[in-house]
Amino acid sequence: MTIKHFLQFKDLTREEIEYLFLRARIIKERFKRYETYHPLADRTLVMIFEKASTRTRLSFEAGMHQLGGAAIYLNTRDSQLGRGEPVEDAGQVISRMCDLVMIRTFEQEIVERFAANSRVPVINGLTNEYHPCQILADIFTFIEHRGPITGKTVAWIGDSNNVCNTWLQAAELLDFNVHVSTPPGYEVEPERAGLFGTDHFEQFSDPMEACRGAHLVTTDVWTSMGFEAENDERRKAFADWCVDAEMMSVAAPDALFMHCLPAHRGEEVTAEVMDGPQSVVWDEAENRLHAQKALMEYLLLGRLAS
């Protein structure tokens, strides 16, 4: 069997992503009914973190336990990874001792080099360029609340970062539109985003215009992990890119608000929107668990009949 990795959103086909949404729903329903479901008994997930995490670590670790397997946490500080062992060697060794690997790191190239040397599937748990597991959960959340996302418009306000790039890839795959508004100098770079074209997104200099008529408004921190040196400069540049009630008022009347979290109220989003009635951020965070359980099950067992 060829190994399937999930290093960026477009590594899976539209059909596979839609299958994952179906499985996530089934797995979530079973979990809510407290049904034991252990398809990954005796399987081991290794989680490698080179950046901080709450949600990603917790959802992968809890998810693997709930599916009957075990999860092992490694970080750069107290493994040989932080002491210069080549990523290719780490890929060879780690993948001989487990069934699945999740990595959160800096450049996308690192997960690609690891995966090229891995005997087991590798999942991107966030890189500078992409955050595919987040968007899997976000779209699953949208579907739960509003039905299919095909043909809908998502407004992305703020930095054209890893989460934004992944929304753009998902838009191409699942056929919806993204309106992106960034400050000057922070625009989307289609090549870095790994896009096939520019048909599924439009850039707006005015965030209000990007939000107009959108079915979902979403944002993220102004400064992503690894870019802390740019913090002061970014705070000035992004000051007008705060999702507020006025932006939500020009979106579709039933528009949702999402944020991958952690959020900074008063920076990229006001407390009023973050904690308001259109916000589904807690469902979104919870769905990391269910969506990733579906992903791990699929990467290890393939398609299941029930």
Would you name the residues annotated as active-site residues? 104, 131, 134, 220, 260, 288
Least separation in angstroms between residue 188's CB and ligand NVA is 14
Q: Give the Cα separation of 234 and 292 in Å (integer).
A: 32
Residues 234-273 vs ligand NVA: string with x where CB under 6 A? --------------------------x-------------
Q: Which does 224 bind (CB under 5 to 8 A by kind): ligand CP, ligand NVA, none?
A: ligand NVA
161 binds ligand NVA (CB under 6 A): yes
For residue 168, what are the contacts with CB-CB under 8 A and spacing of at least 6? 178, 180, 188, 190, 193, 195, 200, 201
50 binds ligand NVA (CB under 6 A): no
Nearer of residues 120 and 260 to ligand NVA, judged by Cβ: 260
163 binds ligand NVA (CB under 6 A): yes
56 binds ligand CP (CB under 6 A): yes
Q: Which residue is nearest to ligand NVA (CB)?
A: 224
Q: Give the Cα separation of 297 and 67 in Å (integer).
A: 8
Residues from 92 through 151 that contact ligand CP (CB under 6 A): 126, 134
180 binds ligand NVA (CB under 6 A): no
Task: Select the residue interacting with ligand CP from 53, 165, 169, 224 (CB under 6 A).
Answer: 53
Site of interaction with ligand NVA (CB under 6 A): 126, 161-163, 220-221, 224-225, 260
